[in-house]
Amino acid sequence: MKSLVHTNIVKLHEIIDDPLKNKVYLVMDYLPGGTVAEKLEKTKTGMEEEDVRKYFRQLISAVHYCHEVKKLAHRDIKPENILLSLLEDARALCKLSDLGLAHDVKVTAAFELHGRAGTTFYMAPEVLAGENYSARADMW
């Protein structure tokens, strides 16, 4: 994660290993706006279309960077993994987080997804069906 440098991806600043407590701490960007999931829970009408469009463009930019530049597939994009700034203007940011299930596709020109990884409600239908499939890197 430290090698991911993009405006719309949460930056990992430091990893602190505490062997005495058997814990690892990750020091990352702080976005006080919470997650998209939390924002959706607070409103009965959902998010404003303008905000959704703005955040979607930012999210697509982050995913494109992961796929095209870093050759990573996130595999768990969901509202809980999209963090928001508190800014209420055109500068408002969303940042993709939790790349713990990211799959490195640099090894070969094609990659295989075997089994399930991620959150069931946000998985692709073919993954839920238990199908193994190949996706060519040039399809991204």
Catalytic machinery residues:
76
Which tokens belong to 4?
């991911």
The three-class DSSP label of residue 120 is: helix
Nearest to 12 by CA among 23, 27, 24: 27
DSSP 26-68: EEE---TT-BHHHHHHH-SS---HHHHHHHHHHHHHHHHIIII
Cβ atoms of 111 and 135 closer than 8 Å: yes
Distance CA 68, CA 8 (A): 15
Distance CA 24, CA 38 (A): 26
